[in-house]
Structure 1
Amino acid sequence: MPFIEEIAIANPKYCHKQEDILKFMQSVAPENEHRKLKMIYKKSGIQTRYSVIPDYGLEERTFYPLSQTLEPFPSVETRMKLFEKEALDLCVNAIEKLTDFSNITHLITVTCTGLSAPGLDIALIKKLKLPTDIIRTSVNFMGCYAGFHALRLADTFCKTQENARILIVDVELCTIHFQKTSTEDNFIANALFADGAAAVIVSNNPKQAYFELRGFHTELALEGEQSMAWEVASTGFLMTLNSYVPDFLASNIENLVDKSLKKNDLYMSQVHHWAVHPGGNRILESIEKKLTLKKIQLESAYKVLSQYGNMSSATIFFVLKELKNIVKKNENIFSCGFGPGLTMESLVLKGI
């Protein structure tokens, strides 16, 4: 039976207050949009976010041009070079916080914010001197639910190889893709997303493990396909994240929960903890209302959102780590995340 042995997390050195990021955004936005931006940030539920870019909290810029228009605006090539420079060290920072990352048989890397080949997987093997015959899998460009996909792969590897010991490395540098065009999608994305990394060990060893992986379930809400998207453009990756997403999720969350729990022979009353991907404050509030949960039941998600923002696929590991010291033996956890498609992933775990 597969288990999450340990989770370690890391963030870049630049911690920005949400009000400072708002000032940066207002400084490059048309004046008639300032009030709208202020309202979005006020309702975000976020206090601080981390970034590999210092500009969002400083008067002087080091990445973006000093011009009012930010021209020449950084190209996708410039942003990918920044990803290559920063992502590896952030991953290593998380990995080195693990108690033991020896005897790794499989390496799964996860990101949707930077792409290259040779990629992060090979860079990690060189940096950490991992075996060159290690089995490598890269989960790329799936969005906020990709961490669940990585855990599903690790679960499969463990079930087919008794001595499997999988290292999942998930890193997202969302803030390198800031877009300045005044659209609702950009305003929302710029108010939510942040940078972070997680390192996770999955194996068949229950000794001192965090959680047991019980079962996965996925649903595709195609009516929301155009509401969340992630595309490559000349000035970076473009996020579509419109204001209807919380409504789409609320309309489909009961079906996801019902089917997932049924597959795992559980009832709603047997769920002791909830580990929901904090895609945004409105998303959490919509799920809370639809499932008639109390806010305290989503406390771990709200706390991660407040302290870190939305770090795309890495965020769910921050939430699970937050729950680690709360969950008791044999208590059930329902976890879920969302992304382009509109994809809804879920996972049931059990405390060890």
Structure 2
Amino acid sequence: MSQVPCRTVALVSHRRSPRGRRGAHMPGTGPRSRGLLRAPPAEVSRPCPRSSHRRADVLVRAVNGARNGGARPYAGGCSACHDFRSEGCSSPRGARRPGTRRPVPPAGRGLVIARHRHRVLGDPMPVVSAPVVVLPRHQVTTEEILERIAKDYPDHPRLAHLGRFIRATTVRTRWYTRPLAEQWHTDGSAAERTRRHLQDSLELAESAARGSLLEAGLGPEDVDAVVVASATGHTMPGLDVLLLQRLGLRPSVRRIPVNQLGCNGGLFSLSTAAELVAARGSTVLVVCADVFSHYLHRRDTGLDGMIFKGIIGDAAGACVVGPSARGPRLELRESWEWLHRGSADVVGSFTDDDGLHTFNSRRLLTTIAEVMPQVKEWLRRTGTAGEGAGPEFVVSHTGSSKVLDAVVAGLDADPELFGLARDSLREVGNVGSVSVLEVMERTFRKPPQDGAQGLVVAVGPGVSVMALRGVWHGCG
């Protein structure tokens, strides 16, 4: 199976200007690789750290920034040392010449965008405050799920094996926004499911968002941007609009809704927030909400559909990502992602007249095994711990017990590093985009040593793997 190029984003910041304007330009960053449309280059001479070189700036128009009045400045790089990989320039600010194409690597090799050899990534560094996760009120045990399956599917051809399969997920309890009997027996229309999903997810998301602002010591007026992720429910206006109004955020707050990323939504939101902090000095509220229980379909009797009934749960989580934080914090250093070609049919969802359905293939585990060596190589290349050293703590999306096994084996990591992820899976199930925040909340309650190097990792539809490299700081 072949791979498509990976993408690495170095989180290099813009400082505030002397006048205190947000987003003041700090020379020395490469164009961000996500969500940017390049405007015609405007070359302005800047001194390069190498005396024989000149720098050139280029204006890059952000998709979201276009609504706010035009292009934002981003450094185009050294006009002499135009290779992003910086082999030709010792400067950490070396980048390619505006208007030139990046070299295309040979087949099978990943194209790395904005990768720098240096590890001093600027000021302010994006830091994550303690997340807040909110669970709904109805706890459902695995035994209750199995009793319901035995009652409603007495003639299922694999009934004798379903109990073993569902128990093998290791999930013991999960939480639903409504009672099990109500969710299980609802065969309403897709419109009705969507309406109830939006109502319940908004309630959870608002509680989590208010809790995270309180945890960070901030008010609604302090938020510059909000990133809202949900793997379930598709309406316009979306959860981001309703949440902004409920929280009383400023009308000028930048909204970034995140959909169609499934379980990767939480990590993608953190990565996007970190880029906003690094580029603009913003204070970003990240909110994830997934209410899977509204999409339990009695007619989904395939093996993946039955296991889905036993593994999912509902939850919402939120955190603040900003240039500073009080108390313990996770400093985000660099983000990475890899989309594995030929695996779009492995895991995902589809919609029919009944609403949202999920699908899963056994190929997911083999695909994870093929991708994890790329994560190891990225960690080796960008980490500070030296050749062959792995992370000292891991915040992982839970997925399932077998998914966690595949990630551990692929990274050749200490299984104990995934203990909190397994605790989360056992106690709340797979809560989609919220899973990373749920495990991160546990990490804040049971923190690693100060200065520990960490990995945040998730697997989602595509199949795609996303990761963040961070450093733990236990003091204020």
Could you state the TM-score of these two structures normalised by the residue count of structure 2? 0.68
**CA 51–293 in structure 1, closer or farther in 2 if over 3 Å, else same:** same
Matches within 5 A, 1:132-211: 132-162=251-281, 164-180=282-298, 181-211=300-330
Matched, 1:340 2:464: no
**1:58 aligned partner:** none
**CA 346–62 in structure 1, closer or farther in 2 if over 3 Å, else same:** same
Matches within 5 A, 1:1-352: 1-29=125-153, 30-55=155-180, 61-65=181-185, 73-98=187-212, 99=215, 100-102=217-219, 103-162=222-281, 164-180=282-298, 181-267=300-386, 268-324=388-444, 325-352=446-473
Larger Rg: 2
- Supply the distance in 1 between the matched residues of 2:390 and 2:410 (Cα, whole angstroms): 18
- Supply the distance in 2 between the matched residues of 1:238 and 1:161 (Cα, whole angstroms): 39
- Supply the distance in 1 between the matched residues of 2:184 and 2:402 (Cα, whole angstroms): 30
Tell me if the contact between 1:276 and 1:336 (Cα under 8 Å) persists in the aligned partners.
Answer: yes
- Supply the distance in 2 between the matched residues of 1:110 and 1:261 (Cα, whole angstroms): 30
Cα offsets for 1:67-105 (capped at 9, x unmatched)? xxx7xx222111101112211111122123232342111
**2:112 aligned partner:** none
What is the deviation of 1:170? 0.4
Tell me if the contact between 1:167 and 1:201 (Cα under 8 Å) persists in the aligned partners.
Answer: yes
What is the deviation of 1:156? 1.3
- Supply the distance in 1 between the matched residues of 2:410 and 2:129 (Cα, whole angstroms): 32
Aligned-pair Cα RMSD in Å: 1.7
Question: How many residues are aligned here?
Answer: 340
Tell me if the contact between 2:184 and 2:296 (Cα under 8 Å) persists in the aligned partners.
Answer: no
Cα offsets for 1:91-139 (capped at 9, x unmatched)? 1221232323421110111101112112211211221211111111100
> What SS does structure 2 have at the residue aligned with 1:118?
coil
- The answer for unaligned runs of 5 or more in structure 2 is 1-124
> What SS does structure 2 have at the residue aligned with 1:225?
coil
What is the deviation of 1:168? 0.7
Tell me if the contact between 2:390 and 2:413 (Cα under 8 Å) persists in the aligned partners.
Answer: no
What is the deviation of 1:328? 1.9
Tell me if the contact between 1:106 and 1:166 (Cα under 8 Å) persists in the aligned partners.
Answer: yes
What is the deviation of 1:201? 0.1
> What SS does structure 2 have at the residue aligned with 1:62?
helix
> What SS does structure 1 have at the residue aligned with 2:208?
helix
- Using the aligned pairs only, state the percent identity: 18
- Supply the distance in 2 between the matched residues of 1:260 and 1:290 (Cα, whole angstroms): 13
- Supply the distance in 2 between the matched residues of 1:263 and 1:269 (Cα, whole angstroms): 11
- Supply the distance in 2 between the matched residues of 1:270 and 1:296 (Cα, whole angstroms): 13
- Supply the distance in 2 between the matched residues of 1:152 and 1:16 (Cα, whole angstroms): 33
Tell me if the contact between 1:276 and 1:316 (Cα under 8 Å) persists in the aligned partners.
Answer: yes
Q: Which has the higher contact order (CA 8 A, sep 6+)?
A: 1
What is the deviation of 1:292? 3.3
Cα offsets for 1:178-208 (capped at 9, x unmatched)? 1232212212222211111101100001432
> What SS does structure 2 have at the residue aligned with 1:269?
coil
Counterpart of 2:207, as a letter, is: N
Counterpart of 1:197, as a letter, is: A
Cα offsets for 1:237-295 (capped at 9, x unmatched)? 11111222122212221222222441345544252112221100011122223333343
**CA 286–341 in structure 1, closer or farther in 2 if over 3 Å, else same:** same
Tell me if the contact between 2:126 and 2:274 (Cα under 8 Å) persists in the aligned partners.
Answer: yes
- Supply the distance in 2 between the matched residues of 1:294 and 1:157 (Cα, whole angstroms): 33
